[in-house]
Amino acid sequence: MSENENEIKEAAEVSEAVEKVEEAVAEKTEAVAEKVEEVAKEVPEVKPVIAPAPTPAPAPAPVAPVIAAAPIAEAAPVVAPVIDKKAEKQAEKEAKNEAKKQAKADEKEAKKQAKIAEKKAKLQARIDACPREYKPVSTSKYFWLLVFGGIPVLGIIISLLFSIIPKNKNIKCLQRALLALHIVGVILILIALLVAVFIAGADIGEISDIFMDFFDAIASAFSF
């Protein structure tokens, strides 16, 4: 009987403890509910959030059609050229012959130029060895001497002066030849005048007038 009484007491104690816990839980629940109501009153009303207008999605870009790549042809195998030894030797031989010919031509041209240079040097040495009065005269000097010596009347005076004044014998000889030519020309003109006067019966006054007009025209041409 004692064991049953103990169990009953323990069950009674447990039930009392459970009741106390339930009362404490109920009190705590009421306190929490009151706190929630107070907090709900303090929180301001929140306006409903308007959902943003839906943004239209951009239209997808057109996709270019993919062109199928052309099939790549297989490369033909590279065949090494066949070198003909005979042709190679023939080409080497021809190249050597051509080089020999070119060398001979160059040597010949060099000898020719050397001979020309030697000839010019000898000629210049002879010219330098000549005395001043016998030195050669250039072609341009001869040309201008002939031009000035060929002027009517004035050419006779120029030829006379240059046949006496210069020291170079070549210039003197040329001018003396021109002076002789002028003298021969004057003699022929005089003979023509004599023939015209005594044989053809021309008037001396007319002939003299012709000559005077001729000399006046020459003088006016050279007057400045």
The pLDDT value given to residue 18: 78
Give CA separation, 47 vs 4, 38, 50, in Å.
66, 20, 9
Cβ–Cβ < 8 Å for 179, 163? yes
The pLDDT value given to residue 116: 92
Task: Parse the chain into domains and list their residue ranges.
Answer: 129-221
pLDDT at 49 over 50: no
Q: For residues 180 and 220, which has the higher predicted lDDT (pLDDT)?
A: 180
**Reported confidence tier of residue 201, pLDDT bands at 50, 70, 90:** low
- pLDDT more than 70, % of the chain: 67
pLDDT at 193 over 80: no
Beta strand spans in 12-154 (E): none
Residue burial 45-76, b: 16+ Cβ < 10 Å; e: rest: eeeeeeeeeeeeeeeeeeeeeeeeeeeeeeee
The pLDDT value given to residue 37: 77
